[in-house]
Amino acid sequence: MIPSAQLDLLAALGYAVFERSGAGLFDLLGASPAWLPPGPLTEVFPFLEVFLLDAEEFWETSSDHSKLVSDYWTQTDARGAHGEDMHFCAIAVAGFRKLLLIERTRHRFEQTQAFVQYAHQTKMAHDEIARLSRELERATQAKSEFLARMSHEIRTPMNALLGVAELLSETPLNKEQSEYVRIFRRAGDNLLNVINDILDFSKIEAGQVELECIAFDLAGVIQGAIEITGIRSRAKGLCLNSEIRADVPARLMGDPGRLRQILLNLLSNAVKFTDRGGITLRVEPDPGRLEPGALHFSVRDTGIGIPADRVSTIFESFTQADVSTTRKYGGTGLGLAISKRFVELMGGRIWAESPPGEGSTMHFTARFDIAGPAPASEHPASKSPASAPLGNRALRILLADDSEDNRFLVRGYLKDTSCILDEVENGEEVLEAFRKGIYDIVLTDAEMPVMDGYTATRAMRAWEQERGRRPTPILALTAHALKEARDRSIAAGCTDHLTKPITKTALLEALSLYAPEHPPSERIHVAVESWLKPVIPAYLKKRKADVAQLRLALEQGDFAAVRTLGHQLAGSGSGYGFAQITEIGATLEESALAADAVRIRQEIDTLDLFLNNVVAE
Amino acid sequence: MLKKKICMVGQFGVGKTSLVRRFVSSIFDDRYLTTIGVKIDRKDVSIDGKSLTLMLWDLAGEDDLAELNVAHLRGASGYVLVADGCRACTLDKAAELQQRITRMLGPLPFVLVVNKADLRDQWEVQFQQVAQYGWPTFETSAKAGSGVEEMFLGLGAALLRAHPASEVREP
């Protein structure tokens, strides 16, 4: 027997004490606590159905005075004197007698609950922050995608607008018309700058900007920025100077493109806000940081200056010194914010000084690594666009673009060259044409119906590989301006990525840069009957003579001679196994009848190319 | 009267207690009060003309401090796996618990509940994520009451079909 004093103590502590008298049978020892509902234990406390399974096993196996404690349980149908939930805990005690203690617990339960609740709420708040952060990331991503899409949609028609304006400026115009075209082009360029700024800024905001780390000549970057800004500063009658201190390293490692962008931004702002005097760009070692590659750049002007209360805010997004500034001088107000972020990415800072009446000076610092001297290969001679102009090279170019306007533009850009342009409207067509194996260069848009440019490029590369052919330069010509788009083009197998809108100069430079230096060495294999093989070389040699004759006839405008030669080619080609010669001959004949000199020239070039590359097997 | 034990399981804070409270008392309280141990409710319902007592065992949500005590599911006729639509990790937790319960107790009828439908615009859980499991699923809002009764009665009906005459299963 448990002494009644001990039972009283347990009751005072909130326990009901039962003794297990048989399987599922329990006798209450001592008085029944007020909170204990009447009835069989497992009906009153369904929780015990589970706990007693463990308790029975515990009583069977434990012989000492250890105890088995249950989890807390709360029963909402058993309520306290004030209608509150009641919480319980059961304890099985082993030993000479098998005891089951049920405790109505309150303080311990509440303490545990407070502790766990604190942990849960902290975790949930953390999860909520993480969720909001993911949501923000998604929203930023969506915004970037939207901007990229809008940029693409704006650039596509801009390509036609600016390109046609360029073509128009090359036609005979009177003074008034020239002025209109000039304004047209300048407005287009400005619009393009705005789009580029917005794209840059959205990328910075989304944390997607990564700086390059390549070796470059600092003087070259400075020179380039000065040359570009020089056009406008000269027009305004301003002096524009640059000074690089002798102890500044000549060759650096970093991102020359972004550095140039910062300099251009500061210089063009200086030109914009200065009406008389001059602008000086100065580079010196950063006095605040004694490292060889730490530099301090400053752009000083004699312009209108910046009000003292705005000096510190001009680097914030969409901020110019005055709202009226935007109206008077234009600009998105993003240029300085973009420059600030680039400078920070370069490990520096940017600030402005503007003592009243003394113009303003924009300063920035940046850290670069020092690069070794330029290897000889960094001074390309043969591949430089300037030293290898397109000249009269009769490149055979395949253009794929679904926009008639953009095809018109490329046609216009090439009209004064000797290039032969074939046009197709989608990826499937470009692939089909490419398989003829006669093109020196392919220009392809990215987004086209039926098959996009990326898929087509991959297929063209695969076709070349299967045949062991040398890769043809494939240039993506798209309105996608972001670096990812460029990466995507290159990953698909493009040789380079040109961005619309493209100027005539840029297109011709790219063609000149990537055109194979020699006529395409890819051989065109044609199967001929074995008995014909001995006569083939003589036949082809005569056709080469035909090419010379055709060119002469065309020069003299002798379409009758072209027609006769064409007819002969058409008649003989297939007989020797060269269906293509027959096809070219027939086209020449037709074109001569129509007196279509352009087409005749194209066909003669095609014939020339074919004869240079054909191999009879 | 037939009795069926149904357990509520899931990560903490997904709304298990609120779902039971909404079903049993038609009450929703915005304050979060974490469940310690087990909270037991009962609700008498009538399904297809049959009276049934649902014994609802609301088990403390699993967290980093304490694992779900699967032993509490012994004797259950079925269970409700609860996830919070606003927290994708709670769906992963639900899937993990389902595996653990099946491993320890064998297959038991259950339904998946994605709760907090009143915050639908903030949901991280996507339809495809839920659909991949191919489980009977309910979208509920303990706050607004939507889907709650349908879910409990739906599970109750499924349990009746599975064991038409049985009392609460003997542990």
A413-461 pLDDT, tens digit each: 888 887 888 899 999 999 988 888 788 899 999 888 889 999 999 999 9
Check CB contact of A121 with chain B, cutoff 8 Å.
Answer: yes
Q: How many residues does chain B have?
A: 171
Beta bridge partners of residue A297, listed in sequence order: A283, A364
Tell me which of A47, A56, A71, A135 to substitute to probe the interface with B (most B C-beta atoms closer than 10 Å).
A71
Q: Give residue A517's pLDDT.
A: 67
Residue B48: φ, ψ to 5°: 50, 40
User: What's the token pair of residue A224?
Assistant: 């380039």
Check CB contact of B38 with chain A, cutoff 8 Å.
Answer: yes
Q: Give residue B34's pLDDT.
A: 93
For the cut 90, the answer to whether the pLDDT of residue A394 exceeds it is: no
Tell me which of B40, B63, B65, B168 to substitute to probe the interface with A (most A C-beta atoms closer than 10 Å).
B40
Each of the 171 residues of chain B gets a pLDDT tens digit; together they read: 789 999 999 999 999 999 999 999 999 988 889 999 999 999 999 998 999 999 999 999 988 778 899 999 999 999 999 999 999 999 999 999 999 999 999 999 999 999 999 999 889 898 889 999 999 999 999 999 999 999 999 999 999 888 765 544 444
pLDDT class for A318, splitting at 50, 70, 90? low
Residues A291-313, mean pLDDT to the nearest whole number: 87
- 3-state SS, B69-114, equals CHHHHCCCCEEEEEEECCCHHHHHHHHHHHHHHHHHHCCCCEEEEE
pLDDT class for A538, splitting at 50, 70, 90? confident
Smallest CA–CA distance from A128 into chain B, residue: B87
Q: Give residue A385's pLDDT.
A: 39
Residues A104-123, mean pLDDT to the nearest whole number: 92
Q: What is this structure's pTM?
A: 0.53
Tens of pLDDT, residue by residue over A192-210, are: 877 777 777 777 777 777 7
Q: Give residue B169's pLDDT.
A: 46
Tens of pLDDT, residue by residue over A178-189, are: 888 888 887 887
Check CB contact of A117 with chain B, cutoff 8 Å.
Answer: yes
Residues of chain A contacting B60 with CB distance shorter than 8 Å: 71
Of A513 and B7, the one with more pLDDT? B7
Residues A485-510, mean pLDDT to the nearest whole number: 88
Residues A493-499, mean pLDDT to the nearest whole number: 90
Question: What is the C-alpha to C-alpha distance for residues A441 and A471, in angstroms, rounded to an integer?
Answer: 10
Spell out the residues 6+ positions from residue B35 whose beta carbon is closer than 8 angstroms to its own: A74, B16, B17, B58, B59, B60, B61
Residues of chain B contacting A68 with CB distance shorter than 8 Å: none
Q: Tell me the three state secondary structure of residue A272.
A: helix
Q: Give residue B122's pLDDT.
A: 86
Q: B75–A109: do the CB atoms touch at under 8 Å?
A: no
Residues A578-583, mean pLDDT to the nearest whole number: 89
Residues A127-141, mean pLDDT to the nearest whole number: 85
Q: B65–A123: do the CB atoms touch at under 8 Å?
A: no
Smallest CA–CA distance from A71 into chain B, residue: B37
Smallest CA–CA distance from A127 into chain B, residue: B87
Q: Give residue A307's pLDDT.
A: 82
pLDDT class for A388, splitting at 50, 70, 90? very low
Q: A117–B33: do the CB atoms touch at under 8 Å?
A: yes
Q: Give residue A518's pLDDT.
A: 55
pLDDT class for A349, splitting at 50, 70, 90? very high
- SS3 percent helix, strand, coil of chain A, rounded to 5, is 50, 20, 30
Check CB contact of B13 with chain A, cutoff 8 Å.
Answer: yes
Q: How many residues does chain A have?
A: 617
User: What's the token pair of residue B160?
Assistant: 């009746």
Q: Give residue B119's pLDDT.
A: 93
Q: Give residue A380's pLDDT.
A: 41
Tens of pLDDT, residue by residue over B6-37, are: 999 999 999 999 999 999 999 998 888 999 99
Residues of chain A contacting B87 with CB distance shorter than 8 Å: 127, 131
For the cut 90, the answer to whether the pLDDT of residue A159 exceeds it is: no
Average pLDDT, whole number, for chain A? 84
Tell me which of B8, B34, B91 to substitute to probe the interface with A (most A C-beta atoms closer than 10 Å).
B34
Lowest mean pLDDT across A35-44, A121-130, A330-339, A562-571: A330-339
Q: Give residue B168's pLDDT.
A: 47
Residue found by looking up tokens 């953390």 in the block: A126
pLDDT class for A286, splitting at 50, 70, 90? very high
Q: Give residue B24's pLDDT.
A: 94
Of A53, A74, A112, which has the smallest distance from its Cβ to B39's Cβ? Answer: A74
For the cut 90, the answer to whether the pLDDT of residue A161 exceeds it is: no
